[in-house]
Amino acid sequence: MTIDPKDPWSAAPAEAPLILALDTSSKIGGVALCRGFEPLGEETWLVGGSQTSQVLPAAARLCERAGVRVAQLGVVVVATGPGSFTGLRVGASLAKGLVAALGLPLVGVPTLDAVAYQHRAATGHIVALVDAGRGQAYAGTYRSGARGTFPRGEPQVFSDEELAAHVAGLTGNVLVAGELGSERARSLAALPRVRVASPATTLRRPAFLAELGFAQLLTGGQSDAAALQPLYLKRG
């Protein structure tokens, strides 16, 4: 679903469900609790241990602060990658377990789509990144305009040198966002017509994942929980 950039609230139904969004795509983990498009709370963290031991306690804290019970959840949204093999597997398993236990719909949203959507106010191209380690990055290229943000081609795995060449080859203004790191950010910022997201806005916020997932659900985009598989992207 394309959310109207000028009026994102217009798509919200009168009785919106409680949405739990889980993102374990990479070293940045996150959980958000929303009622429809309205965020009630979110937590993000730099993974220091097992995602398994961090996600559900974070979800429970958000529910407690909002004064709701886990049993009142209406939708689960999960980031499907690309990203860490272990992290994506954890997120998919937890999401499938919740929807099976509570009888809820499940919506899978590509991680790079959520990164680009978080920066949709930019004009021109958006290159969304998730760090792949070893000097590589998962990258998705999007075109942002008056009608929203749309992917251009499939996500890819780039070395830092390949990423710089890809970004330099795009026409018009380019914003690079997501997991940058200082060295990568400095290299890309030196390119003509290229901006990099500020350090604070490189943090992937799970509330944007929830917003995209709910919009997808409203247009019949519920995922088959049994069939949902993360995107384990590898170099070709």
Q: How many C-beta atoms lie closer than 10 Å to residue 48's C-beta?
A: 8
Residues 6+ apart with CB under 8 A from 110: 79, 80, 81, 82, 140, 155, 231
- Confidence category of residue 144, pLDDT binned at 50, 70, 90: confident
Q: 159 in helix, strand or coil?
A: strand
Per-residue confidence (pLDDT) for residue 1, from 0 to 100: 42
Q: What is the mean pLDDT of the chain?
A: 91
CB 45 within 8 A of CB 75: no
The amino acid present at 81, given as its one-letter code, is: G
For 145-170, how does the pLDDT look when each residue is reduced to its tens digit (9 = 90+)?
Answer: 777 789 999 999 999 999 999 999 99
Whether the predicted pLDDT of 171 surpasses 60: yes
Whether the predicted pLDDT of 49 surpasses 70: no
Helix residue ranges, H only, the chain: 52-66, 85-102, 111-118, 160-168, 182-189, 206-218
Rg of the chain over CA atoms, in angstroms?
Answer: 17
CB 100 within 8 A of CB 226: no
In this structure, what token pair is assigned to residue 157? 């795995």
The amino acid present at 107, given as its one-letter code, is: V
Mean of pLDDT values over 91-99: 96
d(CA 181, CA 46): 13
Domains located in the chain, CATH noted: 8-111+204-218 (3.30.420.40), 112-202 (3.30.420.40)
pTM, rounded to two decimals: 0.92
Q: 79 in helix, strand or coil?
A: strand
3-state helix, strand, coil in the chain (%, to 5): 35, 30, 35
Whether the predicted pLDDT of 64 surpasses 90: yes
DSSP single-letter state for residue 223: B
